[in-house]
Amino acid sequence: MNKHFPTWQAPDGSPLSCVEKIKVLNDNFGELREIMQEAMEDALLMGCDEEQFRLVMRSVVEELHNPYGKPDGQD
């Protein structure tokens, strides 16, 4: 499986530099990737259309909300 992680950025586009924050983000990202891969494999084995599955996963991401509001200056 691809172990590439993004360069995590602050709202201003600068890369995060705190090692502990990056570790937590990478751990969370890795876990999500594994769960999503397993869910896709299950869906395909059960006969689900791959493109529909991908669309549903994208819609889940779009439905996420920021409980902390938008960063300053981003209305």
Per-residue pLDDT tens for 6-30? 999 999 999 999 999 999 999 999 9
Task: Please report the pLDDT score of residue 69 as a whole number.
Answer: 85
Task: Reduce the DSSP state of residue 36 to 3 states and report it.
Answer: helix
**pLDDT confidence tier of residue 74, bands split at 50, 70 and 90:** low
Mean pLDDT of the chain: 92
Q: Extract the tokens encoding 29.
A: 């990202």
Residue ranges of the domains in the chain? 19-63
The residues, ordered by sequence, that sit 6+ positions from 25 with a Cβ below 8 Å of its Cβ are 5, 8, 16
The residues, ordered by sequence, that sit 6+ positions from 73 with a Cβ below 8 Å of its Cβ are none
CA neighbours closer than 13 Å in the CB half-sphere of residue 62? 6
Task: Please report the pLDDT score of residue 72 as a whole number.
Answer: 59
- Asked if residues 6 and 25 have their Cβ atoms less than 8 Å apart, the reply is no
